[in-house]
Structure 1
Amino acid sequence: MPEPKKYHLIVGSVVVATLFWFSVTMSGAFKAHFNVPLAVANLPEDMAVASELPEEVEVTLEGSGWQLLFLSVSHQMKFVMPGNRLSKSRTIQLASVMRDAMELPSGLSVVSAYPESITVDVDRMITKTVPLRYPVRELTFKPGFGLSGEVQLSPDSVTLQGADRVLDGITSWPIETKSYKDLSLPVLDVLPVEDSLGSLVDVSPATVQLTIPVEQLADMEFTEVPVEVQDVPDGKEVLLANATVSVYVRGGVNTLSNLEDTDFMAILDYARIEADTSGMIDPRMNIPAGVTLLKIEPEVIRYTVRQDEDR
């Protein structure tokens, strides 16, 4: 068995020899594969990309082992495809373009790329504004509570910028859905706008404010709601058996406390009266937002139509 001092010398010699071998070896030429993020820049101002492009491309580089090792650790590579020559759709040979466009350290070169080629479709850039849509995933309330108004988004629309053929069929834009359960208080939340088309479409703004008005619910009666006949032609007069109706509604406590009889309206359309043969008709109710109609009394209103001798 070697003496302790000789043992340390042997180990040290092996380590030095290994490091020397590794250093010499890494100075030689190697090939390595890298996944590189892909982007398109410097398109003509009035043009936009109209086809889905891969987020990354695989490139094979050749160079010294040290350089390739540094690149694999630093993750600093990206491929920005020059778009200043893309005035129309064309097929790009990736390896050829990457040799010219990628900024690589001296001594590194592009050997190949996968996919070998990609087709870049371009089209006229347009801007359009579309309403937001919010498909509620789940909305529940604690007993005795409910909506006291409409669920609102602010802003209620977004501005889209992209290629004409991409935006042509888009009539609305989604936001991220979220569940709200057992609510007893109003909700004020900020939700991100969906990025469903990735780099093809720029969406602004990126977030919207969601308001869900929640109150304790109550039932209330309004006994002197006026009845109005609309679109009565000249020379006609409609006499009503009831000038007012009673309305039973449900809504938030605070909402109901601020309402009066005149905030409601029972409407009779003359066109329906003219088509009716029974002499009675159910009114169309105009009620404030955030209020649910439970019942009206009477349910139908008797009427008489006569010539207006004063006209």
Structure 2
Amino acid sequence: MKRYISFIISFAFAFLLWLIVNLNGEYEDSFKARILIKNLRPEKAIKNDYPEFVNIRLKGRGWKILPFYFLSKPHVSIDLSNIHKTLHLNLLNNPRVQISLPKDVNFVGIEPDTLSFELEQRMEKKVPVVLSYELKNENNSFAYPPKIFPDSVVVSGPESMVSKIDSVFTDKILIDKIGQEVNTKVKILNPNQKLIKISSDFAQVKFLVEQIVEREFVVAVHVTGIPADKEVILFPPDIKVVVRGTISKVVPLELDKDTVIKVFVSYHDVLNDKTGLVKPQIILPEYLKLVSFSPEGLEYIIRQK
């Protein structure tokens, strides 16, 4: 055991000496450096694509450039002050370009060595946030429209791009739970992270998914717009209506169908009918879908009161 410990200590000491000797040598290597934009006028925005990173070549002692491999990354700052429209920039020896480097680390080269920037008027616009989702089972649906907070965000950037954005979408979520209310956080997708800014990166979403069912109800038909001295008798006086919706919305209709499902014919349509059958109109709340109704035409009698 002692021999094993002695071997490890000796090996570690030898490795340390080797490391000290080698890191005292001079090295040259390339590193990815992030582009940082400074002093862009508040009313202006960059409209052209430009690289997020450039490759810079550095030279220095091993101890000096070692952190660039593991800890810190170099960055290149570009000053866009007093630029109104376009700038073609040579990154070598340009006062608008600053590369932050520790002492005794020398800048050798950069690739690409030129960049172009096109500026235009900056625009802000408020747009809705749209939930992107996939229901695992097509026989399920939302019991109520998903609630999103914030339901809208402010996007800002070059006018030519922002003017075309009518909404932003969340990251797509797969929904497989039913009958259980879900409250979750989702990412808001940025159509162009480099050129467009969004006032919020995430949204809180609340929803309930339930099974979709169909039910048939017999609903009385009403006649609207009847003059005070007239009376319209329909045959039959009610129709069968089949609706589709989530279970929590459809089942309670057994007690409240005549209030929720509106079925009517217009006295004006009765007067102008030439077939002897008038078609009923059906109004449903947005959470219900009409599957079918019968009969599709009703006979009628108009008589004086």
Q: 1:147 aligns with which of 141, 146, 149?
A: 141
* Cα deviation 1:244-293 (Å, max 9, x = unaligned): 54434344443232644112212446786677532323333211233333
Looking at structure 2, the residues matched to 99 and 31 of structure 1 have their Cα atoms a distance apart, in angstroms, of: 25
Alpha-carbon separation, structure 2, partners of 1:191 and 1:248: 36
- The answer on whether the counterparts of 1:176 and 1:192 sit within 8 Å (CA) in structure 2 is yes
Q: Structure 1 stretch 95-104 or stretch 51-60: which is displaced more?
A: 95-104
Q: Distance in 2 between matches of 1:105 and 1:180?
A: 51
User: C-alpha separation between the residues in 1 aligned to 2:53 and 2:271?
Assistant: 69
**1:57/1:217 CA distance change after superposition, 3 Å:** closer
Unaligned runs of 5+ in 2: 1-10
Matched residue, 1:3: none
Cα pair distance change 1:122/1:152, threshold 3 Å: same
Query: What do the CA deviations read for 1:187-239 (whole angstroms, capped 9, x no partner)?
Result: 43322111331121112322223344333555545434453547x9x999793
SS of the equivalent of 1:185 reads: coil
Match of 1:239 among 228, 232, 257: 232
Determine if contact 2:178/2:210 at 8 Å carries over to the other structure: no
TM-score under structure 1 normalisation?
Answer: 0.74
Q: What displacement does 1:105 show? A: 2.1
The one-letter code of the counterpart of 1:123 is E
State whether residues 223 and 232 of structure 2, in contact with CA within 8 Å, keep that contact through their aligned partners in structure 1: no
Find the aligned partners of 2:268 and 2:80 in 1 and give their Cα distance. Answer: 62
After superposition, the CA RMSD in angstroms is 3.8
Counterparts of 1:133-172 in structure 2, within 5 Å, are: 133-140=130-137, 146-147=140-141, 149-155=143-149, 156-172=151-167
- Percent identity over paired residues: 19
Number of aligned positions between the proteins? 288
Which of 94, 100, 104 in structure 2 is aligned with 1:103? 100
Larger mean CA deviation between 168-177 and 72-81 belongs to 72-81
Aligned counterpart, 2:58:
61
Corresponding residue of 2:38: 41
2:193 aligns with: 198
1:173 aligns with 2:168: yes
SS of corresponding position for 2:92: helix
Distance between the aligned counterparts of 1:236 and 1:111, measured in 2?
Answer: 99
Q: Given the alignment, which residue of 124, 129, 135 partners 2:126?
A: 129
- Write the deviation string for residues 138-182 of structure 1: whole angstroms up to 9, x where unpaired: 4316xxx73353442414433211110121222222221122236
Q: Is the 8 A contact 2:280 2:298 kept in 1?
A: yes
Is the Cα–Cα contact under 8 Å of residues 131 and 173 in structure 1 kept in the other structure?
yes
Query: 1:249: which partner in 2?
Result: 243
Q: Are 1:189 and 2:189 matched, yes or no?
A: no
Q: Is contact 2:187-2:202 (8 Å) kept? A: yes
Matches of 1:77 and 1:214, distance apart in 2:
49
Q: What SS is found at the alignment partner of 2:65? A: helix
Q: CA deviation at 1:297?
A: 3.9
Report the Cα distance in structure 1 between the residues aligned to 2:218 and 2:284, rounded to whole angstroms. Answer: 14
Report the TM-score when normalising by structure 2.
Answer: 0.75
The letter for the 2-side match of 1:94 is L
Give the match's secondary structure for 1:183.
Answer: coil
Which whole-Å CA distance do the structure 1 matches of 2:168 and 2:288 have between them? 29
Aligned to 2:280: 283
CA contact (8 A) 1:138 1:179 kept: yes
d(CA) in 1 for partners of 2:122, 2:71: 36
**C-alpha displacement at 1:107, in angstroms?**
3.0
Q: Distance in 2 between matches of 1:191 and 1:19?
A: 47
**Alignment gaps of 5+ in structure 1:** 1-10
